[in-house]
Amino acid sequence: MKSKTHIVVVRMKEIIYTILFLVFAVILILLLIFMFGGNNKSSVLPSVNTSATYIPGVYTSSLVLNNNGVDVCVAVDSEHINGAWLVWLEDSVATMYPLLETCMADIQTQLSGNVPLEEITFDSSSQYTGQLLIQAVDQALDKAQNTSPT
Q: What residues of the chain score a pLDDT lower than 50?
A: 45-46
Angle between helix 127-144 and 98-112 (nearest 10): 60
Whole-number pLDDT of residue 39: 63
| Domain 57-144, CATH | 3.90.1010
What angle is formed at CA 81 by the lines to CA 47 and CA 57, rounded to 5 degrees? 40
**pTM (two decimals):** 0.63
pLDDT digits (tens, 9 = 90+) for 23-39: 999 999 999 998 887 66
Backbone φ/ψ region at 139: left (φ over 0), alpha (ψ -120 to 50), beta: alpha
CA distance linking residue 78 with residue 22, whole number of Å = 53
CA distance linking residue 62 with residue 54, whole number of Å = 20
Listed by start position, the domains of the chain span 57-144
Question: What would the DSSP string read from start to end of 123-147?
Answer: -GGGHHHHHHHHHHHHHHHHHHB--
